[in-house]
A and B are shown apart, each in its own frame.
Chain A
Amino acid sequence: MSLFSDGHTIKKLLFRIKKNETNRRVGPLSLSKERDGLMTEDDKQPLQPDLMAQLDEVRQALGDSSDLVIRQLKAGQDGKTDVAFIYLDGMVNPTIVYYLIQSFLVRSDRVDLNMTTNQTSDAGAWIQQLGIAAGDVQPLKRRDDLLHAVLCGKTVLVIDGHDEAHAVCTNGWEHRTVSEPTSQTVIKGPQEAFTETIRVNTALVRKRIKHPDLRIESKELGLLTKTSVSVIYIQGIVDEGVLAELHSRLESIKIDGVLESNYVEEFIQDSTFGFFPTVNNTERPDVVAAALLEGRVAIIIDGSPHVLIVPSLFTEFMQSAEDYYQRYDFGFSRMLRFVSFVITLLTPSIYIALTTFHQEMIPTQMLISLAAQREGVPFPAFVEAVMMEITFRLLYEAGIRMPRAVGTAISIVGALVLGEAAVEADLVSPVMVIIVSITAITSMIFPNPEVGISIRLLRFVFMGLAASFGFYGIFIGTVILVMHMCHLESFGKPYMSPLAPFRLPDQKDTLVRAPWWMMYTRPSLLHTNVYREPPDESTEKRGGSDSSSS
């Protein structure tokens, strides 16, 4: 433990910095009286009944934005009541707004708009009477609610003399359509991926689990961005403790903007300085549906096609969606992923240890061919390895960032520099090129690229240990790493479960994936409702109500 105590101090320190930062960010918000456009405590005042004053305030609050549209009309039984529709051009679907205004004009004469002034408590009935041709209609009573509704792409109906406005759901901005997943592809299986729009995303999940117990709870995060965040789970299967913990962690997030799911992930994850991700993320709705069926909780963040899944354990990062879609392969491909985890983590360090400390462990023929390759290389094996690994990382980064048009240039230079020229020039030995290639290939094998990030860092640590202490160093490093991994938790669940602590029933989906008919129970990570398939008469009585068997 003493090894990590240092980490804790750093963590505390950083936490303090983080807190200061949030304060600083929040600072201008609370002092924003003099700044236009930022909402303040004053915005929480009730709406003014006077329409003109109200519209002026909205205009002022939005700084006379050019995309702000305020459509003023006269309506009502006598056709003398002033009403106004407020919306932001581009955020709304113009067709819906058109129908909304039309239907309002046609039907407003049925209702005495002035008469309802004193009946604000019965707003729902009133709006029903009006029969507006639109979906969701919400009453608004405060100015910040009004502004927020407008900013969300709703059309707000304000009527002169009323201290209540009505937000009609007319959202209709341009968004990407559902397309194929880009980073988590499969050959067999659904080819849909989440998009940036939260409603599309929730629908993609809902579409897969057509059961009333699927719950979607929404909240907003980000003081400025007001990003919608949906927490999705299946009532009756979900671990209530995890759900409560997640809610409390989400509540504590204080940040001005949430632009991507990682903003939330870093706030809710259990340990920032753990080497491994404790929150899973996916762009595949089928993976989310599968996680929900196992009793996990998914968090969809508006604007990000990556959905978070908690709690998430180490073994999950080794599971690909395809494991479950392909014909049963006796767990071969999954075992291969575990093996490649070790390969990608340790190959360079094992090479360094073998060639600089433990030459007697190499078979004679191989030793001679290795020694011949090393002949004339001016650097120690460690320097050689670090050099090559860093070169590869540079190529990798460049490959992601560079414009597509120059892509071939990088790959040609990369292949030549890494492969051919460096060897020809006797700067690196050919075997080093092979080793870097192997680690590069095996680090790409994981279904979730997040694991790769942690391994990449650890690989250098292990290389250093191997160069200093040989296998002794690798051994010590491995021991510490295993201790660290066992120490991690994801929302109160031990990270290495079901390997450590060992859970026999959960082995069916750990190192190998058992055939579907054998996986009749859910992971024992949750405690109620364990049966995935209705048990036979022969098996024991089920643990809970079999609420979801879709």
Chain B
Amino acid sequence: MKRMAGAFLALMMIALLLTSCWNRRELDTLGIALGIGIDKQDGEYIVSAQLANVSAVAAKKGGSAAAPVLVVQEKGRILLEAFRHMTVQIPRKVYLSHMRILVISEEVAREGMKYLLDLSRDHEIRGDFYVVIARNTSAQHVLEVITPFERMSANKLYMALEQSEKNWAPTRGVLLNDFLQQSFLVGKEPVLPGVTIENPGQSANKVENTQRTSDLTITKFSTLGVFRQDKLIGWLNEEESKGYNYITGNVSSTIGITPCPGGGIIGLEVKRADSSVTGQFRNGKPEIRINITVDVNVAEAACNIDLVKPEVIARVERDTEKNFSDLLRASVYKAQRVFRSDIFGFGKALHKADFTEWKKIKSKWNAIYPDVPVHITTHVNLNETGTQLNSYLKFYEKAD
């Protein structure tokens, strides 16, 4: 009996060695997809996958002539069908866990993406990649551009978005999960950044493109696209995008321009921006208050201004506040009246403020939204003037 048990155990042990187990894959069998693009043609989706050509990426010496990425297209009624279909072109299975960016063509975005984005169901896909819209070009072309710095262009898009989100107010990166959540819940509508191609040309998809110093084809983030539910309805301009990011508290650092008291302009570096959007019901009527406090430093004074005097600084602060309020008001107006899309999350703010009142208006929120009164208060603190007090223009002796 013991002998039997021993033999049984030994057999079990042998079974451990048979590694024909669930999703065991060697690294060299993976086609690592970094970016996915979705276009539409004749009612069918055309999916482009940007795959890393790992040996070309990692080749340190000699500068291999091979392109660091490879973009393959395949048609499919749903995305995963297209991915599987790609194995007829490439020797590896598309591996989606390391996706950095999803590019959707404007056409697809305008049609609505409701039935397209059930992606996180697949265990390989994580929802933490950015979604962008290819503006005035196709998603495929965006993925094809090879640029310097980051040899894999999907990575370039990802990094550029992260950097400019931190340092440039108008851009905003949106993750798939956030987009999905916002497009289906009442109270906040999504936005997505657009991406365009500068200097489109024949050599955009060749390594050649990286050998130029200027005039190279390069991808560039444009302003934000406004959605109603899952459909793209229009684009904010740069100022409005900035306003959007201030109101939603997404500005960490940027440069703002404000007029000088004596003519000319002054550049202010935003060090900190705090925003609060609060809702309230007055006699059952919803109201929104936006309070924004900004700490700024003088970054560049392109005017003759006496920054030693406190009253001048106070003047600059007041002027900036006024300017700033105008900027915010313009974006709110565009969203409320032109697009009629609650991108600032006013509904959410009202929900938080008074749950029972919100429930009453929730069903007709789309109709009420454009006419909700919005009060904007801004507060600007000018803290530092940098390493100089007065502008050198103050000491300008020569006659013009």
Contact = CB atoms under 8 A, between A and B. Distances in A.
A364 B155 CA distance: 9
B98 interface: yes
A469 B17 CA distance: 10
Contacts of B5: 6
B58 A374 contact: no
Nearest to B52: A368
A375 B34 CA distance: 18
Contact of A355 (B26, B98, B152): B26
A360 B126 contact: yes
Contacts of B97: 359-360
Nearest to B125: A360
A486 B17 CA distance: 28
Given A360-B126, A364-B98, A467-B19, A372 B25 contact: no
A468 B27 contact: no
Nearest to A3: B9
B16 A360 contact: no
B394 interface: no
A468 B28 CA distance: 18
B19 A359 contact: no
A375 B58 CA distance: 11
B16 A464 contact: yes
Contact of B16 (A9, A355, A375, A468): A468
B58 A372 contact: yes
B124 interface: yes
Contacts of A359: 25, 27, 30, 95, 97-98
A285 interface: no
Interface of A is mostly: helix
A347 interface: no
B54 interface: yes
Contacts of B155: 364-365
Nearest to B126: A360
B214 interface: no
B24 interface: yes
Given A368-B54, A375-B55, A360 B26 contact: no
Contacts of B2: 9
A360 B28 contact: no
B32 interface: yes
A4 to B, nearest CB: 12
Contacts of A469: 21
Contact of B30 (A364, A371, A464, A465): A371
Contact of A364 (B16, B24, B100, B124): B100
A381 B21 contact: no
Interface in A359-380: 359-360, 364-365, 367-377, 380
A442 to B, nearest CB: 24
Contacts of A465: 16
B23 A357 contact: yes
Nearest to A354: B27
Contacts of A6: 5-6, 9
B124 A374 contact: no
B57 interface: yes
A371 B24 contact: no
Contacts of B25: 356-357, 359
Interface string B27-53: 110101010000000000000000010
Interface of B is mostly: mixed
Q: Size range of the interface on B?
A: 20 to 34
A470 interface: yes
A479 to B, nearest CB: 16
B23 A375 contact: no
B21 A360 contact: no
B19 A368 contact: no
Contact of B24 (A367, A377, A470): A470
B126 A371 contact: no
Interface in A442-470: 464-465, 467-470
Interface string B112-145: 0000000000001010000000000000000000
Contacts of B27: 355-356, 359, 367, 370-371, 374, 381
A373 B59 CA distance: 10
Interface in B250-304: none
Contact of B98 (A367, A377, A380, A381): A367
Contacts of B58: 368-369, 372-373
Contact of B28 (A365, A374, A464, A470): A374
A423 to B, nearest CB: 14
A369 B55 CA distance: 8
A505 to B, nearest CB: 43
Interface string B42-83: 000000000010110111000000000000000000000000
B6 to A, nearest CB: 7
Interface residues of A, number: 29
B28 A377 contact: yes
Contacts of A464: 16-17
Nearest to B5: A6
Nearest to B100: A364
Contacts of A357: 23-25
A6 B3 CA distance: 11
Contacts of A373: 58
Contacts of A364: 32, 34, 98, 100, 155
Interface centre among B2, B19, B34, B126 (most CB of A within 10 A): B19
Nearest to A370: B27
A381 B26 contact: yes
Contacts of B9: 6
A370 B54 CA distance: 9
Contacts of B30: 359, 371
Contacts of B34: 364
A370 B52 CA distance: 12
A469 B18 CA distance: 10
Contacts of A356: 24-27
B389 to A, nearest CB: 45
B379 to A, nearest CB: 41
Contact of B124 (A360, A369, A381): A360
A182 B314 CA distance: 77
A371 B32 contact: yes
B83 to A, nearest CB: 16
B36 to A, nearest CB: 14
Contacts of A9: 2
Contacts of B152: 368
Given A380-B26, A381-B26, A368 B17 contact: no
Nearest to A372: B58
A360 B57 contact: no
B128 to A, nearest CB: 11
Contacts of B21: 468-469
A360 B54 contact: no
Nearest to B18: A468
A376 B52 CA distance: 16
Interface centre among A367, A465, A470 (most CB of B within 10 A): A367
Contacts of B57: 368-369, 372
Interface centre among B95, B97, B126, B152 (most CB of A within 10 A): B97
B17 A468 contact: yes
Interface string A303-323: 000000000000000000000
A97 B59 CA distance: 80
Interface in A293-309: none
Given A364-B155, A367-B32, A369-B54, 18 more contacts: A359-B97, A360-B97, A360-B126, A364-B98, A364-B100, A367-B98, A368-B32, A368-B54, A372-B58, A373-B58, A374-B28, A375-B55, A376-B28, A465-B16, A467-B19, A468-B17, A468-B19, A469-B21
13 contacts: A6-B5, A356-B27, A357-B23, A360-B124, A367-B27, A367-B98, A368-B52, A371-B30, A372-B57, A376-B55, A465-B16, A467-B24, A468-B16
Which 5 A-B residue pairs are closest in the complex by CB-CB distance? Answer: A372-B58, A360-B97, A372-B54, A371-B54, A374-B27
